[in-house]
Structure 1
Amino acid sequence: MNYTLHQLQVFLKVTQTLSITKAAEELHLTQPAVSIQLRNFQDQFDIPLTEIVGRQLFVTDFGKEIATAAEKIINEVHAINYKTLAHKGQLSGRLKISVVSTGKYVMPYFLADFLKRHEGVELLLDVTNKARVIDSLAANDTDFALVSVLPAKLDILKVELMENRLFLISDAKMRPAKQPAEKSILETLPLIYREQGSGTRYVMEQFLKGANLNVVKKMELSTNEAVKQAVIAGLGCSIMPIIGIKNELASGDLQIVPVKGLPIKSNWNLIWLRSKNLSPVAEAFLKYINDEKSTIIDEWFDWAL
């Protein structure tokens, strides 16, 4: 046996995602690189670790046992690194944060300086939709979550970071009226929705429901980037957080369509379970957020507020 730590990490991620593509994305590797590492790891065992049925990847019973062992080994390696840094008097450990997809335009700015100050902190940042973020929080798989829609069924604590504003957007060719349009304009436009489980979709649907509007749903897309490209291409309009369209507004690819009752306003919240036993790293990050959030907002987000 001559497997490497990198091969263990790749194999473990493949077993967690059950997908070469998803594992490559989360590890920031190419699909061929993941496939090669997986094959090299498999070559060291006479018993199959995974199998392909149709187009679906499955982990064998033996593979599941190896994955459990791999996770223990990786955790022990991290523990050694953390202990080494701790003996040097440095804050060390993992900080796990789950972020709704639009939050990727927000959270990095609240992390950058903290990570520069504490080089021993390892960040695990998972970007997904609202439903999965809440599932991760409920399962205690993350320290904090960044959401704009608070979960109704979890006992949480929170820190409000900044306001979240959502506008109706269109491509550059649409000519909006000089005065804000009535909400009924939304019944005449093809609207592009995010997927079920998205916080942006939830807020959008609540607004439409509250206004008693019957709209024509043109299409449903799974990411904000896909929605932006569809709007730019002239496939329809959408209601989106301004935080994610700064560059497109500046370039003129997208424009805000003034509508009465818009923007929809909510707040970006950093949340965690009330019962969560925060690690020293998590406690330090929470203190940093409370101390520095106003400075960060003034430096990076004054344009969006």
Structure 2
Amino acid sequence: MEYTLRQLQIFIKVTDCQSITKASEALFLTQPAVSLQLKKFQEQFSIPLTEVVGRKLYITDFGKEIAASAMKILNEIEAINYKTRSFKGQLSGRLKISIASTGKYVMPYFLSDFLRQNPAVDLLMDVTNKTQVVKNLEQNEVDFSLVSVIPEQLKLNTVQLLQNKLYLVGGTCIPRDLKMPVHKLLERYPLLFREFGSATRNAMEQFIEKEDWPAYKKIELTSNEALKQALIAGLGYSIMPLIGIKNELKNGELEIIPYPGLPIVSHWNLVWLSTKSFSPVAEAFLSFVQQEKERIVEETFSWFENY
């Protein structure tokens, strides 16, 4: 057999996605390129790896066995590469982090210098919602997670990184009488929510219930970016993390609506299982964060003090 490592990578991605279209998007390749490599890989086996029923692609039982073997091969090759770098005196390995979706405005700044200093370290960062972050922790699938609400059901160690402030926000394209009470404002315009499982949504719903805000209509969006664009377009109002709207406030596209009891203040925390056995890479990253967090906050997030 003369299959290539690239063909193994492509077949594994097709197996994960069960779709050539989705696999091509994940690999940043064209669909014809993925289809061609999949065809060449299949030609080396007399038993089908995939089958199409209707318009849906399925992986055969044989294909699943080959995918599992392919993953083992790629993991061994990756281990060889890490060992080679280690013998050269480089910190080498993979750092796995799961972050709540709005944490994407925070975590990269605590990673950039570390990764520049350690070019042989690979990063795998899953950006998702709070529910999936907790699941990743529970199943020990990651080294660290970044959360604004610490899950009480898990025994975790934490490092506090940065304040998380949530304000009532709306688009400046909505005409607003500054004398109009917020309750009246919300009788005219809908409230925009993140999806279930989002820590931002949980905090927002608790505040709305406490304040007895009217909510004649709800609009639900499944990402912070989508919600932000909806606000800019004037679809309504929402309670949002300050961390994600810096440029929109500066450009005058969004505005903070003053209200007693706001902002809701929590903190972004780097967390890990208290029973976690760290790899050398994870241990080095934790040490870096503990030593450098105050500098990073001062250099990158000092604008927080203006709000």
Tell me by how many angstroms 1:63 deviates: 1.6
Moved more, 241-250 or 8-17: 8-17
Relative to structure 1, the CA distance from residue 241 to residue 31 in structure 2 (aligned partners, 3 Å threshold; closer, same or farther) is: farther
Paired with 1:251 and 1:282, the residues of 2 have a C-alpha distance of: 38
Paired with 2:220 and 2:54, the residues of 1 have a C-alpha distance of: 27
1:259 matched to which residue of 2? 259
1:210 matched to which residue of 2? 210
Tell me by how many angstroms 1:21 deviates: 5.2
Alignment map for 1:116-135 (pairs within 5 Å): 116-135=116-135
Task: Report the RMSD for the aligned CA atoms in angstroms.
Answer: 2.3
**Poorly superposed stretches of 4+, deviation over 6 Å:** none
Tell me by how many angstroms 1:129 deviates: 1.4
Moved more, 13-22 or 109-118: 13-22
Q: Sequence identity, in percent? A: 58
2:41 matched to which residue of 1? 41
Letter in 1 for 2:293: K
Alignment map for 1:284-299 (pairs within 5 Å): 284-299=284-299
Relative to structure 1, the CA distance from residue 67 to residue 36 in structure 2 (aligned partners, 3 Å threshold; closer, same or farther) is: same
1:139 matched to which residue of 2? 139
2:111 matched to which residue of 1? 111
Paired with 1:217 and 1:39, the residues of 2 have a C-alpha distance of: 50
Moved more, 270-279 or 204-213: 204-213
Moved more, 185-194 or 216-225: 185-194
Relative to structure 1, the CA distance from residue 106 to residue 181 in structure 2 (aligned partners, 3 Å threshold; closer, same or farther) is: farther
CA-to-aligned-CA distance 1:4-55 (integer Å, 9 cap, x gap): 2222223223323444455445445455554444444334333332334455
Relative to structure 1, the CA distance from residue 272 to residue 32 in structure 2 (aligned partners, 3 Å threshold; closer, same or farther) is: farther
Paired with 1:262 and 1:182, the residues of 2 have a C-alpha distance of: 12
**Secondary structure in structure 2 of the residue aligned to 1:295:** helix
CA-to-aligned-CA distance 1:172-207 (integer Å, 9 cap, x gap): 123455579556754553011111111211221122
**Secondary structure in structure 2 of the residue aligned to 1:216:** coil
1:65 matched to which residue of 2? 65
1:95 matched to which residue of 2? 95
1:180 touches 1:258 (CA, 8 Å); kept in 2?
no
Letter in 1 for 2:15: T
Tell me the matched-pair count: 305
TM-score, reference length from structure 1: 0.91
Relative to structure 1, the CA distance from residue 181 to residue 92 in structure 2 (aligned partners, 3 Å threshold; closer, same or farther) is: farther
1:183 touches 1:259 (CA, 8 Å); kept in 2?
no
CA-to-aligned-CA distance 1:42-92 (integer Å, 9 cap, x gap): 343333323344555432211211111111111111111111111111111
Paired with 1:160 and 1:226, the residues of 2 have a C-alpha distance of: 28
Unaligned runs of 5+ in 1: none
**Secondary structure in structure 1 of the residue aligned to 2:275:** coil
Relative to structure 1, the CA distance from residue 112 to residue 165 in structure 2 (aligned partners, 3 Å threshold; closer, same or farther) is: same
2:301 matched to which residue of 1? 301
Relative to structure 1, the CA distance from residue 301 to residue 140 in structure 2 (aligned partners, 3 Å threshold; closer, same or farther) is: same
Paired with 1:270 and 1:289, the residues of 2 have a C-alpha distance of: 9
Paired with 1:262 and 1:25, the residues of 2 have a C-alpha distance of: 41
Pair member with larger Rg = 2
1:237 matched to which residue of 2? 237
Paired with 1:133 and 1:213, the residues of 2 have a C-alpha distance of: 30
Relative to structure 1, the CA distance from residue 146 to residue 56 in structure 2 (aligned partners, 3 Å threshold; closer, same or farther) is: farther
Relative to structure 1, the CA distance from residue 165 to residue 95 in structure 2 (aligned partners, 3 Å threshold; closer, same or farther) is: same
2:110 touches 2:296 (CA, 8 Å); kept in 1?
yes
